[in-house]
Amino acid sequence: MRKLIIIPVLIFLLGSCKKDKIEYISGNTPPPDFTVETVVKENYVNKLYISVLGRQATDIEYSEGLKLVNESDLSETGRLELISSIMDKEDYFHNEYETIREDLLDGVDTSEVTKYKKILIDSKERTDDQDLINSYDSLIKNLDLILEIIPGLENNAFNFVEVQRRCVDNYLYDNLNMGSENFVVSMYQNFLFRYPTSQEIISAVDMVDGNQNVVNFEIGRSKRDFLKIFFSSDEYLEGQVRTAFIRFLFREPNVEELFHMKVLYKADLEFKSLQKRILILDEYVGI
């Protein structure tokens, strides 16, 4: 009886180990699936509005944007047209300036700038010391330059390099980074993503304090000279490219990307163009 039981079991086990044969059926092509492509286009329109304007698209804006990318089949030309149309909106400059002052001025708004300006005016009116009066006039003028940023951008009176220069050359930024050394360190950390070397600190601080010195192989003898040298340096331009990559792609650019984007940005200093070159990339689109 024991053998009669074992033999059927072995036969069953051997049979169960037989490999399945895969059969291919010709002419059975699945229908095209446009789900992913549609989702990518929808996400791209939404992402652009949030990235560029800091808000979601309205229903009309979303419909128009989706129509544009559908008609262009998400080509680079269509992407560029959509990005340009979004950047042409009134709130583009407001969002970009808000991003900059959040990073550099702790988010101070126009009303606070006006408040500090009034404090300086009141202090100026309470003194007869001409040196103090001149100092207050200079501080007040720099706050006025901040208040003129949005109108100036809208009228193409200056570029975003000038916006950043104005945001670091004023009474408010100095209060956040008190002293010449803290000011210099903040410039390197905010724009170059690094701490200055000991020699860079010595040279830059000396220049900011009104003494002749050399920074980036250029001679200067004032804070204004330092800022002019700093904002015209290649490393500053690289920092702007890195900032844009981190903001839109959540990563640092590789060596080739950094060099290529820096050269293009240096040629025109067009902040919008720098952003467009990143926002049309397949990586940003999600394909």
Note the pLDDT tens digit of each residue in 127-186. 999 999 999 999 999 999 999 999 999 999 999 999 999 999 999 999 999 999 999 999
Sign of CA dihedral 202, 208, 213, 215: positive
| Backbone conformation region of residue 74, classed left if phi is above 0, alpha if psi is from -120 to 50, else beta | left
pLDDT above 90: residue 196: yes
**pLDDT tens profile 34-73:** 545 889 999 999 999 999 999 999 999 999 999 999 999 9
**pLDDT tens profile 253-280:** 999 999 999 999 999 999 999 999 999 9
- Give a yes or no: residue 102 inside a domain: no
High-pLDDT (> 90) share of the chain, %: 86
Number of domains in the chain: 2
Q: Rounded to an integer, what distance in angstroms lies between the CA atom of residue 62 and that of residue 34?
A: 19
Last residue of a domain, one of 67, 89, 111: 89
**Residue 102: predicted pLDDT:** 95
**Residue 31: predicted pLDDT:** 54
Higher model confidence: residue 8 or residue 71?
Answer: 71
- Give a yes or no: residue 96 inside a domain: no
Last residue of a domain, one of 89, 113, 131: 89
**Residue 21: predicted pLDDT:** 56
pLDDT above 80: residue 15: no
Cα angle: 184, vertex 238, 210; to 5 degrees: 25
**pLDDT tens profile 169-195:** 999 999 999 999 999 999 999 999 999
Query: Is residue 181 helix, strand or coil?
Result: helix
Compute CA distances 158 → 66, 145, 161, 268, 270, whole Å.
33, 12, 8, 12, 10
Q: Find out whether 252 and 245 touch, Cβ atoms under 8 Å.
A: yes
pTM of the model as a whole: 0.84
Last residue of a domain, one of 89, 114, 130: 89
pLDDT above 50: residue 13: no
**Residue 6: predicted pLDDT:** 46
Query: What domain range includes position 45?
Result: 37-89
Q: How many CB atoms lie within 10 A of CB 43?
A: 12
**Residue 253: predicted pLDDT:** 98
**Residue 37: predicted pLDDT:** 83
**Residue 178: predicted pLDDT:** 94
For 28, which DSSP code? -
